[in-house]
Amino acid sequence: MRRSDLIPLAAALFCAVAAAADVEAAPARVVSLNVCTDQLAWLIGAPGQLVSVSPLAHDPRSAALAAEMADVPRNDASAEQVALMQPDLVLAGSYTARATVQMLIGLGYRVETFQPTRSLSDIRENITRMGVLLGRPARAAALVADFDARLATLSDAPETRPVVAYYLPFNETASGEGLTGDILHAAGMTTIAEALDLAPGETLPLERLVLAQPDMILVGAPYDSPAQATALLQHPALRATGKLHEIGPSAGWICGLPSTLDTVAEMRALRRSAQ
């Protein structure tokens, strides 16, 4: 064999060994304690790799992939139950099940936490990170490529960006920051919080909202039973504006997933129909 032939052969052998090491290092039993890590792990993981998901994983109001994850057993987010599952990787959100997370770390379990998704760019980063954690980088890279390709088809620069109030329970409204704001920006909209220069965390009373005359008012679908949290969103004054739009389930706005682009597409179509 010529010396020149040894170089590509050595490179191929190195890649094969590295790939085998990745497979060996991939966790076999993954438990998720957070509805967002539930869905990322389900999308990226190998069949059977995700052995348990959070209590919200099967609720379609919270999880966009609830139907797809219906056969994955739920956990109660307690350290005792998780330990009995003997996981080699536990996934959690930075603000959920803190006592459980600290106890599991103290017991020596490997726990990886994810910050809340704040932008569409965070979605790419979280997909890539999850791919590394699960030993599935190729799967993650494919999802990122598909995500970027689809986002490019949804992006445009409208001459005028309508002012939109995504009105939430207890007089709250979506700001220009965070995932919700980024979704609306990508759809060619401006949030009313930006238009009114609201301070972070500042509420928007119903009277001020109506007087501000935004181009659109978005509210989520009401719960099946009466709830104080959503009663304000059904106020007659909102309907009297003629600009009220009831949007799809809140699950599409909660977690950063490839399916978040479905929400971008929905808002883009709404903007175009209203212009």
Does the pLDDT of residue 268 top 90, yes or no? Answer: yes
**pLDDT tens profile 56-74:** 999 999 999 999 999 999 9
Does the pLDDT of residue 21 top 80, yes or no? Answer: no
At residue 225 the predicted structure's pLDDT band, cuts being 50, 70 and 90, is low
CATH number of the domain to which 20 belongs: 3.40.50.1980
| Dist. CA 98–CA 75, nearest whole Å | 15
Running DSSP on this structure, what letter comes out for residue 177? S
Is residue 258 within 8 A of residue 146, CB to CB? The reply is yes
Does a structural domain hold residue 146? Answer: no
If one counts the domains in the chain, the total is: 2
Among 225, 220, 216, CA closest to 243: 216
Running DSSP on this structure, what letter comes out for residue 19? H
Does a structural domain hold residue 97? Answer: yes
Q: What is the pTM of this model?
A: 0.85
**pLDDT tens profile 96-124:** 889 999 999 999 999 999 999 999 999 99
Together in a domain, 184 and 253: yes
Query: Which pLDDT score is estimated for 176?
Result: 85
**pLDDT tens profile 181-200:** 999 999 999 999 999 999 98
Boundary residue ending a domain (62, 86, 119)? 119
Query: Which pLDDT score is estimated for 239?
Result: 87
At residue 235 the predicted structure's pLDDT band, cuts being 50, 70 and 90, is confident
Together in a domain, 168 and 115: no
User: 96-99 — which CB contacts under 8 Å span 24+ positions?
Assistant: 96/33, 96/34, 96/54, 97/33, 97/34
Among 103, 182, 173, 135, CA closest to 23: 135
Together in a domain, 109 and 202: no
Is residue 138 within 8 A of residue 15, CB to CB? The reply is no
Does a structural domain hold residue 151? Answer: no
